[in-house]
Amino acid sequence: MISKNRLKELAAYRQQKRCDEEAVFVVEGPKMAAEAMASGFGIRVVCATADYAMPAIDGECYEVSQAELERLSLMKSPNRVWMLVERPVAGGRWPVVSGQDAVTLVLDRIQDPGNLGTMLRTADWFGIRRVVCSRDTVGCYNPKVVQASMGAVFRTQVEYVDLPNWLNESGMPVYGASLQGQPFAKQGRPVGAAALVIGNESAGISLDVMQCVSHPVLIPNIGGTAESLNASVAAGILMGWMCL
């Protein structure tokens, strides 16, 4: 059982600021809990209803009622388990990404958590293990990003950097989604390490980042009627082209 005071303390992690201060994030639901358990990330706290098989962990474990689970959760219908997970230490967990087939997804000012989570999920599908973001991109441990990633957040290295500096120092060819680019199917697929830049949902790639793009690529509007593509959809098309 959990005390009222401890429940109140844990409910404070509904605030992203509190999670950021302690370098933790919240995971909810059996599927995401299983991903967390398999990831090797540290599990600090588990709160679960009686019908969930409580895992054996070094952290705190509490059986809670559905009403107590609802006090912790940001979801409309919380599902059996809530976890507080420790974020990986920068530079301490992820392997160096290198080799002739390494593709890095680069995200410039992505604001929608659902879009970022979907891009991480798609990157995971295509085996892209490194995602580099501008510092003003939404945080990858935002609860909506974590849920939308469907576990990819546990398998993908996400970094927040000064993008122009990072791109200039990377030494890689840089492909960027642009309405002024050449159709991607008419360009040669990259050989070896390369970066793919996806810009902000409404404004696209910023000017300072665009100056680093060596290969602007266009997804042709074959139908001719839709105004634009969702950023995560565009990212998925170009990731597939670069990786397959």
Do 133 and 31 have their domain in common?
A: no
For the chain, the domain total comes to 2
Do 146 and 211 have their domain in common?
A: yes
Strands across the sheet with 194-198, in order?
A: 157-161, 130-134, 103-107, 194-198, 174-183, 215-218
Tell which residue, 118, 146, 128, has the closest CA to residue 35: 146
Residue 238 falls within a domain, yes or no?
Answer: yes
User: What is the full per-residue pLDDT of the chain (244 aa) written as tens digits?
Assistant: 899 999 999 999 999 999 999 999 999 999 999 999 999 999 999 999 999 999 888 899 999 999 999 999 999 999 999 999 999 876 444 444 444 458 999 999 999 999 999 999 999 999 999 999 999 999 999 999 999 999 999 999 999 999 999 999 999 999 999 999 999 989 888 888 999 999 999 999 999 999 999 999 999 999 999 989 999 999 999 999 999 8
Do 160 and 188 have their domain in common?
A: yes
Tell which residue, 96, 84, 150, has the closest CA to residue 119: 150
What SS3 class is residue 148? helix
Listed in sequence order, the residues at least 6 apart from 194 whose beta carbon sits closer than 8 Å to its beta carbon are: 103, 104, 172, 173, 174, 175, 242
pTM: 0.93
Calpha distance 128→132 (Å, rounded): 11
Domain residue limits at 60: 4-86
Residue 91 falls within a domain, yes or no?
Answer: no
Listed in sequence order, the residues at least 6 apart from 136 whose beta carbon sits closer than 8 Å to its beta carbon are: 109
Do 113 and 81 have their domain in common?
A: no
What is the model's pLDDT at position 100?
A: 41
CATH number at residue 217: 3.40.1280.10
Calpha distance 165→195 (Å, rounded): 14
Residue 93 falls within a domain, yes or no?
Answer: no
Residue 161 falls within a domain, yes or no?
Answer: yes
Do 49 and 119 have their domain in common?
A: no
Calpha distance 92→189 (Å, rounded): 33
